[in-house]
Structure 1
Amino acid sequence: MHCLRDRPEERELAAALLRELQLPVPKEADARWEFTVSAPDPAFTLLSVVDALVAEQRALQVNWSGHRPPSPAVADADSLSLEVKPAGRRGWFRLDGALELDAVEMALAELLDQARRGRRFVRLAPGQWARISETLHARLEALAAVCRGRESLELAGFSGRAVDDLEALGVRIDADARWTQLRERVRDAAHTPVEPPDLLKCALRSYQQRGFEWLVRLTAWGAGGILADDMGLGKTVQALALLAHRCALGPALVVAPRSLLFNWRDEARRFVPSLDVRTYHGPTRAQQLDALGPGCLMLTTYDIVARDTEALGHIRWASVVLDEAQAIKNPLTRRAKAVFALQADARVALSGTPIENRLEELWSLLEAVCPGLLGPRVAFREDFVLPIEGDQDHERQAALARIIRPFVLRRLKGEVAHELPAREMVVRRIPAAPEHAGHYARERQRAVAETRQLLASEAEGAQMKVLAWITRLRMLACHPGLVDPGWTQGSAKLDFALDHIRALVQNEHSVLVFSQFTRHLDLVRAALDHAGLDWVRIDGRTSSAKREAAVRTFQSGTVSVFLLSLKAGGVGLNLTAADHVLLLDPWWNPAAEDQAADRAHRIGQRRPVTITRLVTAGTVEDDILALQADKRALVAATLAGTGAAGRLDGAELAALIHGSDTLRADLEGEIPFGRGAASTPKDAGTSTDNGWG
């Protein structure tokens, strides 16, 4: 008798079985089909698949070498018990508990450590394993994410929802009376109707009312939050509504950049005139602390808080509002540490850009309003920053988004402010004149040579030197006179800017002109003077009084051109008299440019707004535009919970200097900037993106 074997068919059947068993299929024809599975989760998963195949009476024969390993017991919610007691610090609680199966226990701390590692199968004792049910495992992961400590577990009261979810699943909870009272306050706040306070003398838009309700409910039980609405949606009036709602509970403190104090003063007097508004600033500021009480609203700056840490830190504030809270994005600064030290029953941060460059900035803002939520800074860096920014770990990104979601409220203009007029973004790529192009090319070649040596040597301070070269090249791209005092050839970008501004003014438009460099604004100012065009200006040297006067002059329509430095004029101002914004030089932090553009495109604007960005073609400015996409991804990924994020290292900074592939091709072809000869501003390339920002 002869037996004919169909080896390809046999191999395909065997490969199909391996795929069902979640084992790799060998590619080599003569490979031995032997596999070692040692990790608990895949090993027990393999056993369960084998049992399922046998139960289905498939043509499968299983031979065990010795006894078959026992199947792990299933651990459901009724196998777990928790104990919640007050910890040593205000608002924190200590957690204890155990998982018990077949008279064997696993401590809660060890169970949460296994959950952090994503393990569904846990070892209770030698030869004895438990399988955590899928639902229980998800709830344990959520609890592990907000618990602090590895052996002695602590939980902030504002993170108690993770315990509530376990209790709803059937876990036994033995809680202290203070925990029970706190959770009752949380539930009451969630269901109590919230009406705008009578003291508020304006009508809130529907989304502003929802934001106000969110703030009231969050602060009612001692938590804090970040109101991260898009620029121009009225974060100030939502915060004032909260302060009016809480004013009877004690004095309130608003901390803001110095340039915004007059805006807060005016808005408070306009919308909540019954408040006793005081400004804590200047040499006699200590007098403002006299007779503080309910109904008092104190306005001050981050720098003053840093100087007067002791005086302000001894006061128990009913409410603290941190405006433009990205000012404390670096937790190591004096101002951030001083803000952390403030005593308050309720804390709220306002920022349209809670993340500008790095995830660690978000840690600082949340530490100010929800201390401990994200754990110690070192642990946050290990658990989230390195996996997300370094490895693009989507699971850690989603886990972080789940933790912060209850404490961050962010709405975009396109979602809620449908009445706002259109916002158009135009990019003008302007070819440089040959003399300018040659000057830039020579400097870039010097920069390439030096930065390559710096990176190769790994010398201390190399990254700062690379940044210095980038700044120099950016200034050269704008106008060589910013670097070379003897330069007399002018700049195509400045020529275009002047023609653009003149045309806007002649057609009865008003324009905001932004630059990173105050000396660039000096050149524009001189050109405007020569053309007979009036202007007002704000930069870092402008006093509060002159700043306020400049805003009022522009808003009244007396002048049509407002010159602003990106840092001093890019936040907090309401400049709806403008319907055009001119960004003279790009920066890789798009949040700063968005803030600037939204001085005009905000609630109260009735005309379409056009934002024009000027880019000298073929320079470092082109590559900066490409980098901005990565920065936007960092914000969207964390606040929305999806996507990847990145940050720049020394090599990536150097890549800006070395240039993109397109730029290198242009240079090698001896066409320094753009394709073809230098052109006038009228020939500048244009691209439009209506969805920018």
Structure 2
Amino acid sequence: MKVSTGKPFQLIYSLFQHEYLGYLFESFVIQLDDKGRLTLQHQNISSKNAKEFGAKMDDRDFELIKLMDQMQQEAITLKFYKKKIKPADFFFKVYDKEKGDVELQNTIDHYLEVRRSRILDLMDGKMIFEMGRDGEPAWRQIHWMEQKASVLFHFRRNEDNTHYFPTIKHNGEKLEWQYNGSFLICNQPAWLVVNDQLFRFEKGVDGPKLKPFLNKKFVVIPRKVEATYYEKFVSNLVASFDVYAKGFEINTERHDLIPEITFSELSTAQSVTPDLFGSVKSNGKGDLEPAKILFKIGFKYGPYTFPYDVNATSSVKLERKGEEYIFHKVKRNLDAELWIINRLSEKGLALKNGRQTLTRGEGFAWLSEKKEFIDNEGIIVRQSEKDSKRYFVGEAHIDIKVNENIDWFDIHAIIKFGDFEIPFEQLRKFISGKKREIILPNGEIAVIPDAWFVNYAELFAFMDHEGAPRLKKHHLSLIQDLQNGQLAQVSMDRKLRQLENFEEIEDFTIPPSFTGELRPYQKAGYNWMRFLSSYNFGGCLADDMGLGKTVQTLAMLQSEKDKGKKNASLLIMPTSLIYNWEIEASKFTPDLKVLVYSGSGRDKDVASFEGYDLVLTSYGITRIDIDILKGYYFNYVILDESQAIKNPSSNIAKSVRKLKSKYRLILTGTPLENSTLDLWSQMSFVNPGLLGTESYFKDEFQIPIEKKQDQEKAKRLNVIIKPFILRRQKSQVAKDLPEKVENVKYSTMTAQQEEKYEEVKSYYRNKILDNIEKTGVKKSQLLLLQGLTQLRQIANHPRMTDPEYTGDSGKLEDVTYMIESALSKGHKILIFSQFVKHLSIVKEYFDKNEMTYAYLDGSTKNRQEQVELFQEDESIRLFLISLKAGGVGLNLTRADYVFLLDPWWNPAIEAQAVDRAHRIGQKNTVFTYKFITRNTVEEKILALQQNKIKLASDLITTEESFIKKLEASDIASLLS
């Protein structure tokens, strides 16, 4: 029956026992009569309607009601059973005596105990009742007792057994609580109802210690099991609670605290351990090599050592003398123990529950580095006696000196573990072979610190293995890194140091016969190339497209001629760029004698190169004629668009590595497209050995960076290659270029378009996810690409996949509107799409509305004519361009708007499209608009781009085609 809020009422809490869940509470409001007494008119309330009665409630009441709601059988069923089921069926299933789920029962019990304890803590001052069997909520009132009760545990040992029982006191009076209907309503900690009074206890006594005695005077411990019982049960009881004993002693003791760290090995793998001089000691089966070291903190009090326990105010050691037992109860200094724990954490040993596991290298490095702290704090360190190996615990020291020689860096090193010196070559072998333990002459095992593997692994890997330890000069960055990290003493020529800081490189004179003019950043690039050549270093000029890599290279080649270099230089490029290089050379370096080594009529004799300064050829010709070309010693071998050799196992990559020259240079806007291995292939061409062997590079860089997203490895790789890669982005040379403004325009699908999209998405999602489950991600890539392509096309316009489609497209509406708006203000617009079908749809719109335009796709014959038409004819203000046809080789500086109709997998390709307009010669601000259809794969591709290109952008540039990198979760997200 309803309770009126307009009349006096009272909020109460009613306790009842559930068949399976134990004691629960419910909240009620009860109407009061004219004299303020409870009536039979009541109403059950919950969090849903509690606010109606808020006038009589405080914050505790709202929290209590919320907690009680969480304990009701309907809430328990919903929380712990994901399928729809009636509570009665749920409890019958879970609590069946033979087939019930015991683990789930325990989980539910813990869940309820936590809430019971919280509820009872909040009950102070509230009206609590026991519910009647007829459901009457206010049947019998229970009074919450403010003062905590205390428990004294009694033990009486005699010749046959030990009697054990507890007594309870409250307010100094003994409490009669046995054989009178008393009951426990919570166990952790114990809450006991005695004669309608609710008691809690000092020292957090738990219910199971009282429950056996509700209807039993004492428990008998037989003599034959007393030793075990005393050790496992009575000792803990003595440590935590008040105990009265007859028949054995309890001695309370106080001692000074001494912290003690014990370490032990955790064996996980088999290996043999080399000794100091490289020989192997083994038991024939191989010693167990511990991968980890476990540190445990203990606290010594006099003769006793106890493990870490945040709640233990006392600990007990049981001593047995003949038939007598003595319990030594030791008071612990918890504040001092916690202070030690915190100090160790500050020093790098973060002990959780008194334990911490570190790698062997980290663990022993910590002991070595923190020896002074350990001694000052009086901490005892010892190895577990159970360990079969005995480890060296002391100072590990490495001292490396580097001196610059003519063509090398000479390496000198002293390595010591305590008083024992380790031969440098032996340490190199251990670190290169990832072996971490060395047996010292005294039989102890020294562990090489992990930091040495991190700091010196590359130094040892790249060192020359023959003769005295030395390193090629192109590993300059490694030496500088060691010096900057104070890991080595370095003696180096000041001039060579300039390569670390690009701005400090000396200024070289531009050749008088160079007819062009270099912008400041181009002049800096020219200086950089000249500097590299002075040290016989190779380099990669990786400037953004449109910044003039060609003109910088020509200026450098002209300087080589002016220095009197007689041998020709070889410049290899895609066939389509040969004519462009020939034109540019004749314009800027007319004194260079240029030979185009191409075509079927080429003279296949390197003798024909004599008298020429520059030989231009293609990658295809190089691959075919490599046996001829490798017979000539070139001054420079230069690769333009060097990503052509990104696959080190390709025929062209193998071919160019056979070429002989004094210097090597590569030019590319995208040195990294698919994988870091692209970078290895190109950088190993210009500076052989810079990044080690291919297998070393894969293990040390490619796999950690690409598979494990190891940012530290990415930084290390960047350090190594940085001196030999020069990359300037447009933002860095903004004063030489007009501003570029980038925008993303989101479109919404029309209803008809969305229906078509969802139909296709549903079809492919089920097909692709089923295929992944059966055959895996890799074998589903073709199907995935097919499905994503169709979805991208529908996001543009459904007519791209269904010629019979008669509906409209949200994106086309937005695109045409913005085109007309831009045209009305006199702008010229480049419109790019990856799909020729998409361009055809836009072209159809232009034709229908009599809008003139230039057009370029792969089938266009008069390519240059279309470019000139757009550049020179003011009436042609629209240029439709397909990605493949317009990605490179176009200069369209008359455009100040660039529309990207659909997003591409590789953002670098989008940037190339924008660069058709945003390049030197452009005098206006360039506005770019990328059109994205909301709630489609286009929008999700944007998010995936950010995740998948981070690796590449951290090193050089963006990557291309990340389909192969998609994981099952990525695919599910795209198709969701």
TM-score under structure 2 length normalisation: 0.57
**How far off is 1:154 after superposition?**
8.8
**How far off is 1:466 after superposition?**
1.2
For residues 223-262 of structure 1, what are the structure 2 equivalents within 5 Å? 223-247=537-561, 248-249=564-565, 250-262=567-579
| Change beyond 3 A, Cα 1:515–1:149 | farther
The residue number in structure 1 matching 2:919 is 602
Distance in 1 of aligned mates of 2:927 and 2:900: 11
For residues 488-637 of structure 1, what are the structure 2 equivalents within 5 Å? 488-489=806-807, 491-541=809-859, 546-557=862-873, 559-637=876-954
| Change beyond 3 A, Cα 1:364–1:75 | closer
Deviating more after overlay: 200-209 vs 555-564: 555-564
Question: Match for 2:796: what amino acid?
Answer: C
Any conservation in 2 of the 1:194–1:213 contact (CA below 8 Å)?
A: yes
The residue number in structure 1 matching 2:305 is none
The residue number in structure 2 matching 1:342 is 659
Deviating more after overlay: 488-497 vs 568-577: 488-497
For residues 262-661 of structure 1, what are the structure 2 equivalents within 5 Å? 262-286=579-603, 291-293=608-610, 295-458=612-775, 461-489=779-807, 491-541=809-859, 546-557=862-873, 559-639=876-956, 648-652=965-969, 654-655=971-972, 657-659=974-976
Any conservation in 2 of the 1:227–1:410 contact (CA below 8 Å)?
A: yes
State the superposition RMSD in angstroms: 4.3
**How far off is 1:204 after superposition?**
1.4
Any conservation in 1 of the 2:420–2:440 contact (CA below 8 Å)?
A: no
Higher helix share: 1
Secondary structure, counterpart of 2:608 in structure 1: coil
| Change beyond 3 A, Cα 1:130–1:484 | closer
| Change beyond 3 A, Cα 1:588–1:128 | same
Any conservation in 1 of the 2:622–2:652 contact (CA below 8 Å)?
A: yes
Distance in 1 of aligned mates of 2:859 and 2:426: 55
| Change beyond 3 A, Cα 1:619–1:61 | closer
The total of aligned residue pairs comes to 629
**How far off is 1:324 after superposition?**
2.7
The residue number in structure 2 matching 1:45 is 366
**How far off is 1:538 after superposition?**
3.7
Secondary structure, counterpart of 1:331 in structure 2: coil
Any conservation in 1 of the 2:846–2:852 contact (CA below 8 Å)?
A: yes
List runs of 5+ in structure 2 lacking aligned partners: 1-251, 255-312, 314-330
Give a deviation string over 1:325-344, Cα, whole Å, max 9, x none. Answer: 23333334333333333333
Distance in 2 of aligned mates of 1:585 and 1:211: 35
**How far off is 1:383 after superposition?**
1.1
| Change beyond 3 A, Cα 1:59–1:83 | closer
Higher strand share: 2
Any conservation in 2 of the 1:574–1:600 contact (CA below 8 Å)?
A: yes
Distance in 2 of aligned mates of 1:77 and 1:646: 45
**How far off is 1:601 after superposition?**
1.3
| Change beyond 3 A, Cα 1:377–1:483 | farther
Any conservation in 1 of the 2:893–2:919 contact (CA below 8 Å)?
A: yes
| Change beyond 3 A, Cα 1:284–1:513 | farther
**How far off is 1:369 after superposition?**
2.2
| 2:210 matches 1:210 | no
Secondary structure, counterpart of 1:625 in structure 2: helix
Distance in 2 of aligned mates of 1:37 and 1:596: 51
Any conservation in 2 of the 1:466–1:653 contact (CA below 8 Å)?
A: no
Give a deviation string over 1:121-159, Cα, whole Å, max 9, x none. Answer: 97665437598899x988734523544889999955522
Any conservation in 2 of the 1:357–1:634 contact (CA below 8 Å)?
A: no
Secondary structure, counterpart of 1:77 in structure 2: strand
Distance in 2 of aligned mates of 1:50 and 1:287: 72
Distance in 2 of aligned mates of 1:526 and 1:47: 77
Distance in 2 of aligned mates of 1:278 and 1:376: 35
Give a deviation string over 1:78-97, Cα, whole Å, max 9, x none. Answer: 7xx99999xxxxx9x89998
Choose 1 or 2 for highest CA Rg. 2
Distance in 1 of aligned mates of 2:728 and 2:435: 32
Distance in 2 of aligned mates of 1:129 and 1:563: 70
Question: Match for 1:465: what amino acid?
Answer: L
For residues 61-76 of structure 1, what are the structure 2 equivalents within 5 Å? 71-72=394-395, 74-76=397-399
Any conservation in 1 of the 2:400–2:411 contact (CA below 8 Å)?
A: no
Question: Match for 2:917: what amino acid?
Answer: A
Any conservation in 1 of the 2:606–2:631 contact (CA below 8 Å)?
A: no
| Change beyond 3 A, Cα 1:623–1:187 | closer
Secondary structure, counterpart of 1:25 in structure 2: coil
Question: Match for 1:77: what amino acid?
Answer: I
Secondary structure, counterpart of 1:260 in structure 2: helix
Question: Match for 2:622: what amino acid?
Answer: V
**How far off is 1:105 after superposition?**
4.0
Any conservation in 2 of the 1:430–1:493 contact (CA below 8 Å)?
A: yes
| 2:509 matches 1:195 | yes
Secondary structure, counterpart of 2:586 in structure 1: helix
The residue number in structure 1 matching 2:259 is none
Higher relative contact order (CA 8 A, sep 6+): 1
Secondary structure, counterpart of 2:431 in structure 1: helix
Question: Match for 2:526: what amino acid?
Answer: F
| Change beyond 3 A, Cα 1:240–1:38 | closer
Deviating more after overlay: 290-299 vs 122-131: 122-131
Any conservation in 1 of the 2:540–2:667 contact (CA below 8 Å)?
A: yes
List runs of 5+ in structure 1 lacking aligned partners: 28-32, 86-90, 174-179, 660-693
Distance in 2 of aligned mates of 1:143 and 1:131: 16
Any conservation in 2 of the 1:571–1:595 contact (CA below 8 Å)?
A: yes
| Change beyond 3 A, Cα 1:340–1:69 | closer
The residue number in structure 2 matching 1:15 is 341
Deviating more after overlay: 238-247 vs 601-610: 238-247
Distance in 1 of aligned mates of 2:498 and 2:746: 57
Secondary structure, counterpart of 1:270 in structure 2: helix
Any conservation in 2 of the 1:146–1:403 contact (CA below 8 Å)?
A: no
Deviating more after overlay: 235-244 vs 503-512: 503-512
Question: Match for 2:548: what amino acid?
Answer: G
Give a deviation string over 1:240-261, Cα, whole Å, max 9, x none. Answer: 2122222453323333334433
| Change beyond 3 A, Cα 1:73–1:11 | closer
For residues 88-237 of structure 1, what are the structure 2 equivalents within 5 Å? 99=414, 104-108=421-425, 110-111=427-428, 113-114=430-431, 125=441, 126-127=443-444, 129=446, 140-144=456-460, 146-147=462-463, 156-159=472-475, 162=478, 193-237=507-551
Question: Match for 2:559: what amino acid?
Answer: H
The residue number in structure 1 matching 2:105 is none
Secondary structure, counterpart of 2:609 in structure 1: coil
The residue number in structure 2 matching 1:679 is none
**How far off is 1:389 after superposition?**
1.9
Distance in 2 of aligned mates of 1:275 and 1:94: 37
| Change beyond 3 A, Cα 1:103–1:433 | closer
Question: Match for 2:706: what amino acid?
Answer: E
**How far off is 1:10 after superposition?**
3.4
The residue number in structure 2 matching 1:691 is none
Give a deviation string over 1:196-239, Cα, whole Å, max 9, x none. Answer: 12222122122211111111111333322211223332222212
Identity %: 32
Question: Match for 1:583: what amino acid?
Answer: L
Question: Match for 1:202: what amino acid?
Answer: G
| Change beyond 3 A, Cα 1:207–1:466 | same
**How far off is 1:276 after superposition?**
2.8
Distance in 1 of aligned mates of 2:787 and 2:927: 32
